[in-house]
A and B are shown apart, each in its own frame.
Chain A
Amino acid sequence: MSGQHTDAALAENAGDSLDANWYIDKLFQGVMFVCGISAVLFVLGIFAFVFAEGAEFVIKTINWSQFLLSPRWAPTSDYNPTYGILALIAGTASITVLAMAVAVPFSLGAAIFIAEFAKGRTREVLKILIELLAAIPSVVWGFIGLAIMNPWIIETFDVPIGLNVLNCGLILGLMAAPIITSIAEDALKAVPDTYREASEALGASRWQTTARVVLPAAKNGLLAAVLLGVGRGFGETMAVLMASGHSINLPSSVFDSVRALTATIAAELGETAVGSEHYQALFTIGIFLFTITFIINMTADWIIRGSKKG
């Protein structure tokens, strides 16, 4: 003990004292650690909660082949309640695929224009407009789908109902586009200007520079932008509920109405008895959504790591 005491005294004498800065540094390291770790805790907490609510159904009641492969979602049937989410998966997937087919080319083009070609005022105005587009609440988009797109589709394509995959896909594409654009533009802006100058000094045209130097250098960020768009399409609820028609269907054309996984939870959860089989089935859909999102993110992460190594 006395030896330690002497060592501390020696350290003090040599100027090695624990001053206020040292304690403040330790304190903030601790605070930042808690903030950083909290994200992990929240994700685990949400997963635990969702899983706990759906656990009984997953472990006891569920018939996996029926759950994943049956297109019949009839939870309120009196004599034979069936929980098949195939039609819901097909609904979500068809809407997301169409939305991405619309959004990805448009938003990548817009991002390239803003980051590489537009100058001064044009660029600033475009950026503000796109951010404005991203700020429109999803219920407004749903309203546009219901009130404007619906009659337009009925009239233009001569179909009985305008609330369908086409309507919902277009709306969702327009919703995802500003997000993809803005993240893709950030990715392009992160490519150092020295690359552009070096390339143009070699006599490469602006387009050649973009295609051969800037886009390959930004490909990870662009991929992340697209995947975030996919996530947006997958998770969007309100606009999808309003524009998709919300009817259980395996779509055979873009003019069929469909129902999405998220919309099903939103529409039905409020009407079920807490703890009932139906309630648990809805939470199982939540677990399913959670798992898919997790897989998408892990895939993105894996692709990005892979491309870094190469």
Chain B
Amino acid sequence: MVNFALQAKEDQHPDGSAAPGSDAPVQLAVNKLEIRYGGMVALSGVSLDIRQNEIFGIIGPANSGKTSFLNAINRMDMMRSNMTVTGDIHFNGVDIRQWRNVYALRRQIGVVFPLPVGLPMTIYDNVALAPRLSGKNLSRQALDDLVERCLRRAALWDEVKDRLNSLGSLLSGGQQQRLTIARALSQEPKMLMLDEFSIAVDPVTTMRIEDVLKELRQEMTIILVTNLVQQAQRLAHRTAFFLNGECVEIGETEALFSGQVKDSRTQDYIEGKFG
């Protein structure tokens, strides 16, 4: 019981703000989503609502359909000829299939990939790329400010401020991952999706990025796909458990981790009995 009390304390968010209640506006509504690659079903029957300004965790072992889920949300299925998506996904109340300009949709949804992808250009250009392409035509000063703001929010500014013109791909793995976060923030997205961002990052950097995410969720909705059960426990308000293409369970993170689960597989996965 002492143990339980400790855990409950840890679960409280350091930023002090409460989790968005069940009456908070819905950012992303997914209904009966099914994803197939050719004849193989990668994910089926997923229905869930993600609320504005919450951190929504998705846990599950490899091949459970977590990454496919993210790819469906920002329409990356268009880049893969054999990927078919059925069911509804509403972003801010609009069916993403009805978006005529898919690029405009993607500008509102930032993505961070498992392995950091430093594009082959300078640190500055990595962050400034998306604003430049979006046709906003920012002045040099405005762009400088934007780059600094994004790098600061990604906790990278102090390490790179003196070498903004060196190649982004020369940074260390952890720095590159923070660079990709800064890049994802450069369009001021409404939602940020992170796909196992800590896979190639050392524990200290992981904790720094986690602190960054706690700050960011004041301004945006965050979907955190992770293979680290404890990471979901530390960060997510609610957590979904995916297994073999099925959404086994969705619940308040605190409840799931204190044993209030509906499905024994969730309990087994959280306790590390498999996966």
Q: Which residues of A contact B (CB under 8 A)?
A: 119-120, 194-205, 208, 212-213, 216-217
**Most chain B Cβ neighbours within 10 Å, of A197, A198, A212, A216:** A198
Nearest residue (CB) in A for B108 is A203
A88 to B140, CA, bound (A): 52
Which B103-122 residues have C-beta < 8 A from chain A?
A: 103-107, 110-111, 113, 115, 117, 119-121
* A209 closest partner in B (C-beta): B133
- Contact check: which of A119, A194, A200, A212 meets B106 at CB < 8 Å? A200
In angstroms, how far is the closest chain B Cβ from the Cβ of A221? 13
B63, CB-defined interface residue at 8 Å? no
- The answer to whether A120 and B81 have CB atoms under 8 Å apart is yes
Also in contact, A196 and B79, with CB within 8 A (given A201-B106, A201-B111):
yes
Contact B79 A197 (CB under 8 A): yes
Instruction: Give every chain B residue within 8 A of A200 (Cβ-Cβ).
Output: 76, 79, 103, 106
How many B residues touch the partner, as a band? 20 to 34
Minimal beta-carbon separation of B171 from chain A (angstroms):
15
**Interface pick from B152-160, B180-188, B229-237:** B180-188
Given contacts A194-B113, A194-B117, A195-B119, contact A202 B81 (CB under 8 A): no
CA distance A205 to B120 in the complex (A): 18
Q: Which residues of B contact A204 (CB under 8 A)?
A: 103, 129-130, 133
Measured in the bound complex, the distance between the Cα atoms of B105 and A198 in whole Å is: 15
Q: Check B133–A198 contact: CB distance below 8 A.
A: no
- Report the separation of the CA atoms of residues A199 and B110 in the bound assembly, to the nearest whole angstrom: 11
Residues of B within 8 A of A196 (CB): 79
- The one of B79, B81, B103, B117 in contact with A203, judged by C-beta atoms closer than 8 angstroms, is B103
A202 touches B106 (CB 8 A): yes
A203 touches B130 (CB 8 A): yes
Closest A-B pairs by Cβ, 5 of them: A203-B107, A201-B111, A202-B130, A203-B106, A198-B117
| B74–A201 touching, CB < 8 Å | yes
User: Which one of B115, B133, B183 lies within 8 Å of A208 (CB-CB)?
Assistant: B133
B→A interface (CB under 8 Å)? 74, 76, 79, 81, 103-107, 110-111, 113, 115, 117, 119-121, 129-130, 133-134, 180, 183-184, 186-187
Measured between beta carbons, the chain A residues less than 8 angstroms from B111 are 201
Chain A residues lying within 8 Å of B103, measured Cβ to Cβ, are 200, 203-205
What residues of chain B lie closer than 8 Å to A205, measured between beta carbons?
103, 133
Chain A hits for B81, CB < 8 A: 119-120
Q: Which of A119, A120, A212, A217 contacts B129 (CB 8 A)?
A: A212
CA distance A115 to B3 in the complex (A): 57
Residues of B within 8 A of A213 (CB): 119-121, 129
Q: Which of B105, B119, B184 has the most CB of A within 10 A?
A: B119
Q: Among A196, A197, A202, A216, find the residue whose CB has the most chain B CB atoms closer than 10 A.
A: A202
Contact B115 A197 (CB under 8 A): no
Q: Which of B76, B79, B133, B183 contacts A212 (CB 8 A)?
A: B133
- Kindly identify which residue among B110, B115, B121, B183 contacts A216, using a CB–CB cutoff of 8 Å: B121
Q: Is A197 touching B133 in the complex (CB atoms < 8 A)?
A: no
A202 touches B79 (CB 8 A): no
Establish whether residues A195 and B76, one from each chain, have CB atoms under 8 Å apart when the complex forms: no
Measured between alpha carbons, how far is A194 from B117 in the docked complex, in Å? 7
Q: List 21 A-B contacts (CB under 8 A).
A: A119-B81, A195-B119, A195-B120, A197-B79, A198-B119, A199-B119, A201-B74, A201-B110, A201-B113, A202-B110, A202-B130, A203-B105, A203-B107, A203-B134, A203-B187, A204-B133, A205-B103, A208-B133, A212-B129, A213-B121, A216-B121
A120, A196, A213 pick with most chain B CB within 10 angstroms: A213
- Which residues of chain B are within 8 angstroms of A201 by Cβ–Cβ distance? 74, 76, 106, 110-111, 113, 184
> Shortest distance in angstroms between A300's beta carbon and chain B's nearest beta carbon?
20
Closest to B187 in A: A203
CA distance A216 to B187 in the complex (A): 22
B-chain residues with CB within 8 Å of residue A216 when the two chains form the complex = 120-121
Known: A197-B113, A200-B76, A203-B103; 8 extra A-B contacts, CB below 8 A, are: A197-B76, A198-B117, A201-B74, A202-B107, A202-B129, A202-B133, A203-B107, A212-B129
Q: What B residues does A212 contact at CB under 8 A?
A: 129, 133
For the complex, give the distance between the alpha carbons of A212 and B121 in Å.
10
Nearest B-chain residue to A204, judged by Cβ: B133
In the bound assembly, the distance between CA atoms of A148 and B186 in angstroms comes to 57
The answer to whether A202 touches B76, judged by C-beta atoms less than 8 angstroms apart, is: no
A203: which B residues are within 8 A, CB to CB?
103-107, 130, 133-134, 187
A195 to B130, CA, bound (A): 13
Minimal beta-carbon separation of A20 from chain B (angstroms) = 41
